[in-house]
Amino acid sequence: MKTTQQIHEYHLWNKLSKHRSLVSFNIELTARCNNNCHHCYINLPAGDTRAIEKELSRLEINRIADEAVELGALWCLLTGGEPLLRNDFSQIYLDLKKKGLLVSVFTNATLINTEIVQLFKQYPPRAVEVSVYGITAETYEEVTRKQGTFIAFQNGLKLLLDAGIKVRFKAMSLKSNYHEMQRIAEFCRSRSDDVFRFDPFLHLRYDLNEKRNKEIITQRLTPSQIIALERSDIERTDSVKKLCNQQQNATENTTASNLIFNCGIGKHDFTLGWDGTFRLCSALQHPECVYDLRKGNLKDAWLNFAPKVLNMRREPNSIDDCYNCRLVNLCSWCPAHSYLENGSLVTPIKDFCESAHARNKAFGVIDHQTSEHEEI
């Protein structure tokens, strides 16, 4: 049974969802991380001085968070890189809590210590979401490429769980931990009642680093590995089947308007980048979609800049494949990921596309009518 209610399950959300209004925002506190995971899309070295110099200061974060609250925000997520790498993490966390915000934290748990746990006990986060890369030292450190990180992860997680801090788990599935995914799922589900999610769709890096992108691509699971993984997990099988059955609805409203963004971004949230950028979703790095909050302010970004991005259109009468595709729910395709992969907001992502077709063949409907008869 899951214990953390999702934001869209609240009655208040139904009221808010009818209009464009700010509800939440993500803060990338840093692009640095103490790990060096193969698949990571945002991890500069922990001691990268140029990155440190560009990071938003506590003062700047407070200024922008105050503006966000003024615009109606109730909730914020602290993420990275690894947010606990910041020496001023505790002060920033406390600043946000004192503004009355609900605060969630994404972490790899390796830097959790007694002081952080004490802080979380005194000022509880809405949730702490921990990424699990393996449940043996060998696999975990094959992913993170840093010795000693498995012990640090185990210690940090134990501190959180022993203190009764609400933890939610997630995992990325990649070649380096594929063989352990079932055990990772068991490990996570036995330690938290909350939803455990794993994701085999590895998107490319925010900094467009070509060398690191090649590493990410070599870590992507093949379509048949994804299917095998999803078949071996009953909860996952059920949720993928549901996605397959929703596929017609996914594109119903997308073809007529020629809008580039049909996914609901920018309606209720935004991402504050580690270097002061304003983005409508964390992955959306296209230069025309990024606003510099160091040169402007959040009110201008939210009220004037964002609507222009949301109004960006495809070529008139274009029939871009992904906007007419009934499998879009199955492939993690979106304009932001398309840009990271292809340098264009509107083109298919080959690897994702192949996996979507394989998932549909394995779990879904081929011709909109045969789902019950499909052999799985």
Residues that bind ligand SF4 (CB under 6 A): 33, 35-37, 40, 43, 80-82, 108, 131, 144, 321-322, 325, 327-328, 331, 333, 348-349, 352-353, 356
Least Å from the CB of residue 295 to ligand SF4? 27
Least Å from the CB of residue 349 to ligand SF4? 5
**CB nearer ligand SF4, residue 37 or residue 309:** 37
**CB nearer ligand SF4, residue 80 or residue 134:** 80
Q: What counts of helices (H) and strands (E) characterise the chain?
A: 16, 11
Least Å from the CB of residue 91 to ligand SF4? 21
SS3 (DSSP) at 163: coil
**CB nearer ligand SF4, residue 16 or residue 33:** 33
Q: How far apart are CA 121 and CA 108, in angstroms?
A: 19
Per the listing, tokens 């009642």 go with 193
Q: How far apart are CA 32 and CA 25, in angstroms?
A: 20
Least Å from the CB of residue 337 to ligand SF4? 9
Least Å from the CB of residue 173 to ligand SF4? 13
Q: Which residues contact 95 (CB under 8 A, 6 or more apart)?
A: 58, 61, 62, 65
Q: Give the type of residue at 76.
A: C
**CB nearer ligand SF4, residue 68 or residue 85:** 85
Least Å from the CB of residue 152 to ligand SF4? 11
**CB nearer ligand SF4, residue 146 or residue 189:** 146
To the nearest 10°, the Cα dihedral for 326, 329, 330, 335? 100
Answer whether 42's CB lies under 8 Å from 206's CB: yes
DSSP 85-124: GSTTHHHHHHHHHHTT-EEEEEE-STT--HHHHHHHHHS-
Least Å from the CB of residue 100 to ligand SF4? 28
**CB nearer ligand SF4, residue 14 or residue 257:** 257
Count of C-beta atoms within a 10 Å radius of residue 60: 14
Burial of 70 (0-12, 13-18, 19+ CB in 10 A): exposed
**CB nearer ligand SF4, residue 27 or residue 328:** 328
